[in-house]
A and B are shown apart, each in its own frame.
Chain A
Amino acid sequence: MLAGYSTVSSKAKIKGLEKIDRLFNTYANSSLGMIDPEGIEALCSDLGVDYTDVRILMLAWKLKAEKQGYFTQDEWQTGLKALGVDSLSKLKKALSDLEKEVEKPSNYEDFYTYAFRYCLTEEKQKSVDIESICELLNLVLGVQFRPQIDSLIEYLKVQNDYKVINSDQWINFLRFCKEISFPDLENYDATQAWPLILDNYVEWMREKHS
């Protein structure tokens, strides 16, 4: 009896996994054994989203993808199972739910930190160049904090104290948007532990508007 039961469920499991795996193989690079950037582009086009869309980043986050531009089979399986999808159409629907999931305060910071890590493509890389950071900021925070992000990006592009941004600075950008009133910046206190780049940004802003 028991054996029969488990056979049924494992058959069901196998069936479910089968569909996920089949979906995986549609996009995977067979010699690599994983989905590569080309595959992701194809996936995006099938999903009807631009491959620079933030939802793809969210998908990567959900999949806990380690390497930018690649999905391993494990990541694919775990991720799609977590999403509860096993087909392209279901995945497409799940993307909009995913947005809501990410926006939950308990997930948001995790996603935000993940976004930075995802950009560390070289081994032992600890910081990301300014250009990429600006793009990432726009992608990840642009919708929610449009005025701050536009202004901050403008500053990052004109300043030349920093050529790269590290994770500590990155996490403080989010904190800045959340905590500091804008555009007056009244409650910003440079004697606190804000990263120097933000002190400089605030100074620049204040000078601009004086």
Chain B
Amino acid sequence: MTMNERKTIDLEQGWEFMQKGITKLKNILEGLPEPQFSSEDYMMLYTTIYNMYTQKPPHDYSQQLYDKYRESFEEYITSSVLPSLREKHDEFMLRELVKRWTNHKVMVRWLSRFFHYLNRYFIARRSLPPLNEVGLTCFRELVYQEVNAKVRDAVISLIDQEREAAYYSRKAANWIVDDSCPDYMLKAEECLKREKDRVSNYLHSSSEPKLLEKVQHELLSVWANRLLDKEHSGCHALLRDDKVEDLSRMFRLFSKIPRGLDPVSSTFKQHVTAEGTALVKLAEDAASTKKAEKRDVVGLQEQVFVRKVIELHDKYLAYMNDCFQNHTLFHKVLKEAFEAFCNKGVAGSSSAELLATFCDNILKKGGSEKLSDEAIEETLEKVVKLLAYISDKDLFAEFYRKKLARRLLFDKSANDDHERSILTKLKQQCGGQFTSKMEGMVTDLTLARENQTNFEEYLSNNRNANPGIDLTVTVLTTGFWPSYKSFDLNLPAEMIKCVEVFRDFYQTKTKHRKLTWMYSLGTCNLIGKFEPKTMELIVTTYQASALLLFNSSDRLSYSEIMIQLNLTDDDVVRLLHSLSCAKYKILNKEPNTKTISSTDQFEFNSKFTDKMRRIKIPLPPVDEKKKVIEDVDKDRRYAIDASIVRIMKSRKVLGHQQLVMECVEQLGRMFKPDFKVIKKRIEDLITRDYLERDKDNPNMFRYLA
């Protein structure tokens, strides 16, 4: 081929070549990694057009080239530009539009350069729009037509947002200084409502959330802290003054801004904790004026304290509903607040004991709480709810069990249905294991009644077995009932026969069980032949045994009584006190002091009388507190041991912190184990060869099978 001879470029061929250049341009515009056009590239593209234009017919492709120029834009706009605009909205759409328009102008510039030769001759001859105009017209017809309405809306809403933001920013700055928190909030709520209405009327609905967000930001987020902390009208003050409506408004407003509820819930938590702690202090102060000997006994003030805590709980539960729309964050902080102060004891009594005593008072006959059936049910329900906040649930269970035992055995339970009802509630809250023993106790009593019927039948069938005294025996299943120290009381002769008779009867029923007699829990009805009149005395078995001694002796010393009864000093002092120094003086004591001493002498008081024919002489129970705590501590040690062994058995090797953590978690339902106690148990288990310390890592333990 000579220099002057040109090979004819077929349209298809030539366009294929041009297409490559256009694709390269598109890639550059789309931001793909594409090297810029070199001078050679440009020259080749320009020359290709020139050649195709200046070829002799039928290979002069001027019209086709002109059309293809326009089509290039159309194709690109349709396939890339429009789709990308359609998927965006508002501000994002505007940004995209600006980008695409800028790209388009670049595209027009470059393609015009390639196709420049057309511009020079073809267009002028045919009076066609120049290349520039063609390119721009494509954009107008394809893009602008489609998006211009959307664009207008987006622009207006942007302007509006900026305007509103500025407006509210100014207003808020004034209000925050002049207005109280409730007033400010009212205004804020009004503004938001107004804006909402305005927007829905004439702006595109997609603008609404953005606009409201801006207004919320200016009115609330910017001033949140200052607003909430306002001394006389802020969050703290509203809580203090029980302004339920204002608090609801506060919740509504602040729930809309990001993290808006955090300061509110935190102030709420502080407030509740402070109120609860104040109640504790109140009770403590009242208790400190108590007389010394009553210090360890749960008294009226402590009862009042529990009542007040229940009331506090009710109040803030209502808040959950009325103000805070049952939001989980507020439930969480309420729980934390109650846990914080509910675990503080009052005057030496743990909260577990206080709750148990409170229940006892409701459930026992003649308790200090005189309530209707419904009120009782409600109160029990609330007490059980409070139990969720107590970490020493096992301690509560033990105190409850002890008191339940007293109610059941001394016939002090006011209402069987209530007893069962609270057990059901406790079961629901704490699980079956919590209440299984208590339920067993209640069942035992029912069985005991049946058993008694059988016993009476037995007696009527065996005349000579009759002990001559009416005897009622309650057989208790050992595992269910609290442990009682059983002392070998020397029974009066009359009662010895009773025990033997019942034993014989019981043998006929089962041969595999052993009976252990708990005389400390028995009651006895005595007939006292006093000079003024004969009276019936209802006493405990211990008291009866002491009194019956005076049937054979006129005068007995303390030590004589103690030896004959075979009881401890503690018991003897208690029972003699109840018979000679309390309300009813069945015995005369010499010297006639108010307390029992080991040198005292006693005589039957034949002159005793009372306006009633029948009296009950109470024997105050031994304070169980120390024993309960001891028993619970012991059970905890076993529980921790078992938990550690269980964990180590399954993990085989475990680090100390991990072990402690899992142990705490496993036992958390019933109590919070002390770290030191856990450590001690681990040490004990090491000594007993259940575990060993790892040789290389002293912080790890290994299970020894």
Interface size of B in residues (CB-CB distance below 8 Å): 17
> Which residues from chain B contact A168 at a C-beta distance below 8 Å?
683, 686-687, 693
Using CB atoms, name the residue of chain B closest to A172. B698
Using CB atoms, name the residue of chain B closest to A161. B680
Taken together as a complex, chains A and B put the C-alpha atoms of A199 and B682 apart, in Å, by 14
> Which residues from chain B contact A142 at a C-beta distance below 8 Å?
none
Stretch at the interface among A33-41, A58-66, A95-103, A189-197: A189-197
> Which residues from chain A contact B680 at a C-beta distance below 8 Å?
196
Taken together as a complex, chains A and B put the C-alpha atoms of A72 and B489 apart, in Å, by 60
Does the CB pair B656–A195 fall under 8 Å?
A: no
Taken together as a complex, chains A and B put the C-alpha atoms of A169 and B683 apart, in Å, by 9
Taken together as a complex, chains A and B put the C-alpha atoms of A126 and B680 apart, in Å, by 17
> Which residues from chain B contact A191 at a C-beta distance below 8 Å?
656-657, 660, 675
Q: Is B701 an interface residue (CB 8 A)?
A: yes
Q: Is A175 an interface residue (CB 8 A)?
A: yes
Does the CB pair A199–B693 fall under 8 Å?
A: no
> Which residues from chain B contact A171 at a C-beta distance below 8 Å?
693
Taken together as a complex, chains A and B put the C-alpha atoms of A195 and B655 apart, in Å, by 14
Q: Is B676 an interface residue (CB 8 A)?
A: yes
Asked if A193 meets B675 with Cβ closer than 8 Å, knowing A168-B683, A168-B687, the reply is: no
Q: Is the interface of B mostly helix, strand, loop or mixed?
A: helix
> Which residues from chain B contact A192 at a C-beta distance below 8 Å?
656-657, 699
Does the CB pair A196–B699 fall under 8 Å?
A: no
Q: Mark B673-705, 1 if CB is under 8 A from A, else 0.
A: 001100110110011000001000011110000
Q: Is A78 an interface residue (CB 8 A)?
A: no
* Residue among A127, A168, A193, A195 facing the most chain B CB atoms (10 A cut-off): A193
Which A residues, 152 to 182, have Cβ-Cβ distances below 8 Å to chain B?
A: 166, 168-169, 171-172, 175
Does the CB pair A196–B676 fall under 8 Å?
A: yes
B663 to nearest A CB, angstroms? Answer: 13
> Which residues from chain B contact A172 at a C-beta distance below 8 Å?
698
Asked if A193 meets B687 with Cβ closer than 8 Å, knowing A168-B693, A199-B679, the reply is: no
Q: Mark A15-49, 1 if CB is under 8 A from B, else 0.
A: 00000000000000000000000000000000000
Taken together as a complex, chains A and B put the C-alpha atoms of A110 and B352 apart, in Å, by 51
Taken together as a complex, chains A and B put the C-alpha atoms of A67 and B675 apart, in Å, by 38
Taken together as a complex, chains A and B put the C-alpha atoms of A171 and B701 apart, in Å, by 15
Taken together as a complex, chains A and B put the C-alpha atoms of A172 and B683 apart, in Å, by 12
Asked if A196 meets B683 with Cβ closer than 8 Å, knowing A168-B693, A172-B698, A191-B675, the reply is: yes
Taken together as a complex, chains A and B put the C-alpha atoms of A126 and B683 apart, in Å, by 13
B191 to nearest A CB, angstroms? Answer: 53
- How many contacts A-B (CB < 8 Å)? 36
> Which residues from chain B contact A126 at a C-beta distance below 8 Å?
687
Does the CB pair A193–B676 fall under 8 Å?
A: no
> Which residues from chain A contact B683 at a C-beta distance below 8 Å?
166, 168-169, 195-196
- Which size bracket describes the interface of A in this complex? 10 to 19
B677 to nearest A CB, angstroms? Answer: 9
Using CB atoms, name the residue of chain B closest to A179. B698
A131 to nearest B CB, angstroms? Answer: 20
Using CB atoms, name the residue of chain B closest to A196. B679
A187 to nearest B CB, angstroms? Answer: 14
Q: Which of A166, A169, A193 contacts B698 (CB 8 A)?
A: A193
Which B residues, 626 to 662, have Cβ-Cβ distances below 8 Å to chain A?
A: 655-657, 660
Taken together as a complex, chains A and B put the C-alpha atoms of A175 and B699 apart, in Å, by 12
Q: Which of A169, A175, A193 contacts B656 (CB 8 A)?
A: A193
Taken together as a complex, chains A and B put the C-alpha atoms of A191 and B687 apart, in Å, by 21
Taken together as a complex, chains A and B put the C-alpha atoms of A192 and B676 apart, in Å, by 11
Taken together as a complex, chains A and B put the C-alpha atoms of A195 and B684 apart, in Å, by 11
Asked if A195 meets B657 with Cβ closer than 8 Å, knowing A126-B687, A168-B687, A175-B698, the reply is: no
Taken together as a complex, chains A and B put the C-alpha atoms of A83 and B698 apart, in Å, by 33
Taken together as a complex, chains A and B put the C-alpha atoms of A126 and B686 apart, in Å, by 11
B276 to nearest A CB, angstroms? Answer: 29
Taken together as a complex, chains A and B put the C-alpha atoms of A192 and B687 apart, in Å, by 19
Taken together as a complex, chains A and B put the C-alpha atoms of A196 and B701 apart, in Å, by 15
Taken together as a complex, chains A and B put the C-alpha atoms of A191 and B659 apart, in Å, by 11
Taken together as a complex, chains A and B put the C-alpha atoms of A137 and B615 apart, in Å, by 69
Does the CB pair A193–B686 fall under 8 Å?
A: no
Does the CB pair B687–A166 fall under 8 Å?
A: yes
Using CB atoms, name the residue of chain B closest to A191. B657
Taken together as a complex, chains A and B put the C-alpha atoms of A195 and B680 apart, in Å, by 8
A196 to nearest B CB, angstroms? Answer: 5
Which B residues, 523 to 568, have Cβ-Cβ distances below 8 Å to chain A?
A: none
Taken together as a complex, chains A and B put the C-alpha atoms of A11 and B680 apart, in Å, by 59
Taken together as a complex, chains A and B put the C-alpha atoms of A177 and B404 apart, in Å, by 54
Taken together as a complex, chains A and B put the C-alpha atoms of A199 and B691 apart, in Å, by 20
Asked if A195 meets B679 with Cβ closer than 8 Å, knowing A168-B693, A172-B698, the reply is: yes
A207 to nearest B CB, angstroms? Answer: 16
Using CB atoms, name the residue of chain A closest to B676. A196
B624 to nearest A CB, angstroms? Answer: 27
B661 to nearest A CB, angstroms? Answer: 10
Does the CB pair A199–B698 fall under 8 Å?
A: no
> Which residues from chain B contact A199 at a C-beta distance below 8 Å?
676, 679
> Which residues from chain A contact B700 at a C-beta distance below 8 Å?
193
New contact pairs (4) apart from A168-B683, A193-B698, CB-CB < 8 Å: A169-B683, A171-B693, A193-B693, A199-B679
Residues of A within 8 A of B (CB): 126-127, 166, 168-169, 171-172, 175, 191-193, 195-196, 199
Q: List 6 A-B contacts (CB under 8 A).
A: A168-B687, A191-B675, A193-B700, A193-B701, A195-B679, A196-B679
The 3 closest A-B pairs by CB, nearest first: A193-B656, A196-B679, A193-B699
